[in-house]
Amino acid sequence: MKAYILKRFLLLFLTLWGITLCSFVMLQLAPGSPLEMKIQRGKDGSLGEKSAVSEEVIQRLRVQYHLDKPILVRYGLWLKDIARLDFGTSFADHRPVISKIAERVPISLIFGISGIIIALLLGIPLGLLSGAHPNTWLDRSVAFGSIAFYALPSYVLGILLLTFLGGGEFLNLFPIYGIQSDAYSSLSLVGKILDRLHHFVLPCICYSLGGLAFIAQQQRASILDALNQDYIRTARAKGLPEWLVFMKHAFRNSLIPTVTIVGAMLPGILGASVIIEVLFSIPGLGLLSFESLLQRDYPTIMANFTIGSLLSLAGIFLSDLLYVIVDPRISFD
């Protein structure tokens, strides 16, 4: 097991290195460097041609941003800084990127992990109920709802929630933006908790509904497959109660495919957060990614790429470890 974990860690860092190298090169080759943007801003804000950016200033900026060096040398300098957890300074507001990331990551993780937990707590029981009563109205209802909600894009769902529940043309039940009210600081502790929960309802529905639908379908297929195995027939032949056969033997083995989904859902925290956070004006990592792309804030973009890649690889690694926990027969020795 230790050898496997060490091997996976080495593979994780090699993969992360390859992803960051490709991302860095593509970003540097993309049209519109930060230097060009600063020059353009200088021209836009100037009163005439005489106030245009001088060649001396341009050269100083090229040295400052290492644009006078080859791409691979720039990547090496960036990698050296990353090893010290230094993501550089934002081109947009000149703040350290690590400070901006540290402010936003907890918010995105709270929403993303809450969405995964809700999806698991509701999706697994729905899948079990559907699989335990195949070809019934309950089974058909769960199947139809799962397909419909899984196919529904998160931004469409968000717009529908804002329209029908956020004071659009129908009900005004939930806030439509932010994570707290304007009077948040004056509330009591209980009031602050309730205020946050009130703001979390609509975004958490968007985060969880697609995963919930997929987990329910996966769990249904897994439990039906488990119930048709020989060990289930053997347990029934021994006279065990049906509920014991279902919960102790079929249920645990049906969880193995579902475990992989949990690991695969971790990268989706960032992917879905871009759309949902922009839609609900949530100051998380997704909104920061969107804003940095609009501003061509390269250090922040690369930091988001790196964190997103790390989450994806960590999700794959976590799903492998969960395999062993769910099914002791699986060993990596």
* Pure H helices in 30-153: 34-44, 55-64, 71-83, 97-132, 137-151
Instruction: Tell me how far apart the alpha carbons of residues 165 and 214 are, in angstroms, rounded to a whole number.
Output: 24
Delineate the domains of the chain, giving CATH numbers in brackets.
Answer: 31-84 (no CATH), 99-326 (1.10.3720.10)
User: What confidence tier does 123 reach under pLDDT thresholds 50, 70, 90?
Assistant: very high
What pLDDT is attached to residue 48? 45
Residue 176's alpha-carbon distances to 11, 164, 203, 214, in angstroms, are 42, 11, 9, 26
What pLDDT is attached to residue 227? 87
What pLDDT is attached to residue 49? 46
- Read off the pLDDT of each residue in 220-230 and give the average, rounded to a whole number: 89
What pLDDT is attached to residue 67? 74
What pLDDT is attached to residue 50? 42
Tens of pLDDT along 138-160? 999 998 998 888 888 888 888 88
Per the CB < 8 A criterion, the answer to whether 234 and 227 are in contact is no
Tens of pLDDT along 237-253? 888 888 888 888 888 88
Per the CB < 8 A criterion, the answer to whether 309 and 24 are in contact is no
Which residues are 166's β-sheet partners? 172
**Which of 65-69, 122-126, 169-173, 302-306 is modeled with the greatest confidence?**
122-126
What pLDDT is attached to residue 216? 92
Identify the residue with better confidence: 44 or 132: 132
Q: Does the predicted model carry a pTM greater than 0.85?
A: no
CA neighbours within 13 Å on the CB side: how many for 186? 3
Which residues are 172's β-sheet partners? 166
Angle at 212 between CA 209 and CA 213, to 5 degrees: 90
| Average pLDDT taken over every residue of the chain | 82
- 3-class secondary structure, 166: strand
Tens of pLDDT along 3-59? 777 888 888 889 989 988 988 888 878 776 666 666 665 555 544 444 456 677 777
Tens of pLDDT along 194-205? 989 998 999 999
Asked which of 91-105, 121-135, 267-281 is least confident by mean pLDDT, the reply is: 267-281
